[in-house]
Structure 1
Amino acid sequence: MLTGRVALVTGAGRGLGAAHARLLAAEGAAVVVNDVGASLDGRTSGEQVAADVVADITAVGGRAVADTCDISTFAGAAAAVRRVVDTFGRIDILVNNAGIMDTSGVEDLAEDSLDRVLDVHVKGSVATTRAAFAYMRTQAFGRIINTISESALDMRMADSIAYSSAKAAVWGLTMATAKNGAPYGITANAVSPGARTRMSAGVLDAGMSTGLDLAPEHVSRVVVLLASPGAGDITGRVVHAAAGQVREYILRRTADTDLVRRLADGSTSTVAS
């Protein structure tokens, strides 16, 4: 499906990113496995996790190299994309998966924690997209797949103000990039994954999704499909993938709800049930 294509996957040393990298490679893509080996909160880094995933891929005949550029800066993201092009001659697929977590509520959130989360999730996704876009435009082909979070966007993660803010911003980035890329054969979509990883384990163990097969590979299957040449008509879409099931998120303006009627009437009193 992806023979001859080249992919950059950020945060690919563990969990979802590693599963994405392995399946992209299994489908024929050459993969740059980007990961700085950061701790879950992003405060420490240095573990050689990217190299381990590369070893897994090459052991079964795939093509992959490790990259440890810090994509949370424009310079680091540009360096990661240059590594892809210098190594494999092109970049066709960008999977923005890198992420860290902060569990502070609104009153406890520190500015440096907010900056750190936004830098990785938002600036990192913007910066890699910016760096890859010119190459994809010249090729008249590109597949950009961002990562959001269902739990962060539907009020189930009250103690994650920074993370929820970041994931909402990535949704907006996806929509804008889809518009930018449309004339050039570049698609941009987002995946909301439901999978057991080191980031999601705490939420899952609290009983939110017990009894489901939340292997990351279920999500990776959707990522590979969105990355394929045949997905050129799919752009500006947000997909939730979990346990072998797929759903689409759609934003709509609705003219006839209790809230609309209250505001139109100038009333903030409680609507009787």
Structure 2
Amino acid sequence: MFRSSLLTLSFLALATASLAFAQEAKKDEAKKDDGEWIQLFNGKNLDGWTPKIRYHELGENWNDTFRVEDGLLKVGYDKYDKFNETFGHLFYKESFSYYVLRVEYRFVGKQCEGGPGWAIRNSGAMIHGEKPETMTKDQDFPASIEVQLLGGNGKDPRTTANLCTPGTNVVMKGELITRHCTNSTSKTYHGEDWVTVEITVRGNQVIQHKIDGASVLTYNEPQLDERDAHAKDLIAKAGNKMLSGGTISLQSESHPVEFRKVELKKLAVE
């Protein structure tokens, strides 16, 4: 009986030690994944980024649209005669799935001549996007989830950190949302003040937009839109319409915009 009790105690001690070890290992792994902020924009140049501008080849930075000046990533149109619907995107080299993306942006100056009215003080950070290599030469936007970045006109309300869905759909409160854009609950940001937007992305589970630490929009199940011809081709190649990760890109939509920070923190996969 005494020997049996010793064996039982030894087993319990071993099991407790194993559990504690497993918990510590899990914590260490979480720390590894849920780590430090990675600076996607290094403040010096466009290393790690590739432009794709409509009607131009991948990698061609048409009219120096994307440039780094004074430590800022700038989207400018001073070398354009007219915009001519040359919507552009600057793609980061890696794809991501579970992460927090933080961007600090502001709109400056006047819109490029020929830009559409809706694009005044309008840009975006695209997430869960397709690779730029799969875009056609005349394609305007990558199939992606757009965190729409907007500025006010000085008098009218206009939210930012909205959602737009080029070639995609999402689910909100159990309902498939097929409209192109959905407004957030943010306040309006007029003038040229810096605005910080944070996007928490957990694969295909949930995406949340935040400003000043407060949630302004939440949705889940991002997916390619079967009604869109290009998205339909992507679905056929992937064998699945659901999006659990993808590229990150910044837009050029005809109004000058500046980014002073584009950083990312990886999250533990759940």
Q: What TM-score, normalized to structure 1?
A: 0.30
Determine which structure has greater relative contact order: mean sequence separation of CA pairs < 8 Å that are 6+ residues apart, divided by chain length: 2
The answer to which structure has the higher helix fraction is: 1
Q: What TM-score, normalized to structure 2?
A: 0.31
